[in-house]
Structure 1
Amino acid sequence: MGRTTPAAVAAADDDGQKTSWPEVVGWVTLNAALQISSDRPDVSTDFYSETTTLPTDYDANRVIIVADDRNVVVRTPVIG
């Protein structure tokens, strides 16, 4: 039997759908967005620079992707 890791628990909501994508850190933003859209076609992706203030409101239909100046994902994208 497989064991559930804390990362796997944190990466899924009560319905078993992904809520975070740690595997795309280091990817180009477009590729990350395509993976997220493939996993969760019901959410949109918003892109932010690592120097930009992130939104403070929670949106269950949004995944925030934070990237550096080379468009490489620098933080784990999460729903919110």
Structure 2
Amino acid sequence: MKKISEIMEELGFRPDGSYEVKKAFIKNLIQQAQVTELDRQVAKRESMKATTIDSKAKIEGFEQLNLFDFEKQSS
């Protein structure tokens, strides 16, 4: 089994880097290890619902902006 310092070095963390950043990274790893597959599926579905609503709003807003004149470029 590898030491956490070896794993962090493989991921590109500097040995002289901030202790707080390393601590936050390790806490995040522990939290992610405790998340079940069901939790991930529920979060993904909730995210997809929000994305669907947000993407419609972005499309409507984008249609109002005429920043580019694509007709001139294609001819």
With a CA cutoff of 8 Å and minimum separation of 6, indicate the structure with the bigger relative contact order. Answer: 1
Bigger radius of gyration: 2
Where on the TM-score scale, by shorter chain, does this alignment land: which range? Answer: under 0.3
Greater share of strand: 1
For normalisation by structure 1, the TM-score amounts to 0.21
Greater share of helix: 2
